[in-house]
Each structure stands twice: as C-alpha cells, then as structure tokens.
Amino acid sequence: MAIHVSSHPLVAHKLALLRDKATTPKQFRELVRELSWLLGYEAMADLETRQVTVETPLEEMAAAALEPRVGLIPVLRAGLGMVDAMLELMPTAQVWHIGLYRDERTLKPVEYYNKLPDAATVQVCLILDPMLATGGSSAATVDILKAWGAARIKQVSLIAAPEGIATLSAAHPDVEIHVAAVDRELNDRGYIVPGLGDAGDRQFGTFAGPSSEPGHDSDETAEVVRRLQRNLSPDR
Ligand code: PRP
Ligand code: URA
C-alpha cells in the first residue's frame, strides 16, 4: 500500500481552517482549492518527463516536458472543488466526471453519471474526492477506471479514515493514496471524525436543516461501520 500523508506546514494550516465549523462556504471553497493545489503538486512528483529543446534568449538548451497524458477524475459533487486547482497545475489534463453518491443507510456508492468513452484516453488518472470515508466511493471509481483501461491511478483526498484506506488498499493495492491527513475513525453514521462534516454541503452551502445533518440514526448504518472496523482491527 502506498499512502502519502502530506507533512507540509501550509497544508496543516489550511486544513485546520477547513475543518473549523465557523468557516463559511466561500472560505471553504477557497481552502479546498488551495489544498488541492498543494496536494496535486505532491501527488505528481513522480510523473515522468521527456527531454525537449528550448531556445532561451541566450542559447538552446535541453529541458523537460511532462510525458504522460493525465486525466482528472472528480467524483461528483464534492470532487468538483478540486478540479480548477489541478487544471492550473496541468492545463492540458483531461477532465472525466464520475457521479456517485453514498446511500446514507447502507453507505454503498450509487453511480449516476459516467460518460467515459470506450477506451482509456489517458495514462495517469487522478481521482479527486475530498473525503475517503468507508472507501466505497473510491473503490467503485477505481473499478470504473480499471474497466475503462486506466493503467495508473492515484487517489487525491483531503481527509481519509483508516477504514477507507484499508478498504481501498485491500481492493486496489496498486492505487497510490495522497491525503492531507488521516483522521481517527468513522462514527456510527459513516462520517469521518474529527473530520470536517459533509464536504459537498460545506462547499455548496446546501444545508437543509436538522433532517439533513450528517447521516440519520440507523442500526444498519452503524453495523456497516462496525464491520469495517472489525476488518481493520480484529481486537476492536
Ligand atoms: C461524499 C464524498 C465521497 C464519499 C466518501 O460524497 O465526497 O464521494 O462521500 O464516502 P465513502 O468513502 O464512504 O464512499 P457524498 O456521497 O456525500 O456525495 P456528494 O459529494 O454529492 O455530497
Ligand atoms: N462524506 C463527507 O463529506 N464527509 C464524511 O465525513 C464522510 C463522507
């Protein structure tokens, strides 16, 4: 398993602001963008380059150009906020949206949007999703990308739970995971704690009142989380 947790002080500082419940949706979107820029920079550190020739005003020189064709795969909705920063880093990247939402009771991902063409058009895929909670959405996205023919896949998230990392790396050990932080655990409604709440709602300001607060009490949901936690550590 390859998990990279950023140790950059700027990432830690911005993540603390992002978590704060007093952070407004406007500030939240700005922070998601800034964190995506920093994590994207780290996640792309091992991409190959090819030699090109550049003419400076003084002389010709050998320089480097990014070699692989890169695809950005934002998982709707929350992954949308990570796209612009990544496109600033790599203006020629292709963007392929995948629509998934997590069923609140079963915590299983439900696919609702996928317009991938028949065969893969990129060599490296970066899945963009701020939260890696149970890992269900991420593992399903990797399944979709592998069926498409993607050979090299990286997951870029802001916060991960240990349960999600375990699920994703068991299903897809070849996928590199880049995050700003790994939090303590999932609560019995499948939310990352301490976390930041619902990344989609906080970005887009879609708070509809108490009934849509994180999760609904459900024995079934809590049992799904307990199962994930037993897999993580048989002694829990
Ligand atoms: C959130 C998040 C991830 C998923 C993570 O999306 O953006 O896609 O949950 O959870 P998992 O690891 O347990 O699958 P959500 O389903 O809330 O949809 P949204 O982005 O449309 O709000
Ligand atoms: N999705 C979120 O937005 N937050 C969580 O804590 C878990 C899933």
Contact 203, 25 (CB under 8 A): yes
Structure tokens given for 111:
């696919």
Nearest CA to ligand 1 atom 21: 77
Residue 160 has pLDDT above 70, yes or no: yes
Contact 22, 197 (CB under 8 A): no
Residues within a 6 A CB radius of ligand 1 = 75-78, 100-102, 107, 109, 129-138, 164, 190, 198-200
Q: Which residues contact 81 (CB under 8 A, 6 or more apart)?
A: 29, 32, 33, 36, 130, 199, 203
Supply the pTM of this predicted model: 0.94
What is the arithmetic mean of pLDDT over 93-115? 97
What is the arithmetic mean of pLDDT over 29-46? 98
Residue 198 beta carbon below 6 angstroms from any ligand 2 atom = yes
| CA 56 – ligand 2 centroid, Å | 48
User: Could you give the residue numbers annotated as active site?
Assistant: 102, 106, 198, 201
Q: How confident is the model at residue 231 (pLDDT cuts 50, 70, 90)?
A: confident
Q: How confident is the model at residue 223 (pLDDT cuts 50, 70, 90)?
A: very high
Residue 210 has pLDDT above 70, yes or no: no
Q: What pLDDT does 170 receive?
A: 97
* Vertex 119: Cα angle to 116 and 123 (nearest 5): 95
Nearest ligand to residue 106 Cα: 1
pLDDT digits (tens, 9 = 90+) for 55-85: 999 999 999 999 999 999 999 999 999 999 9
Contact 138, 192 (CB under 8 A): no
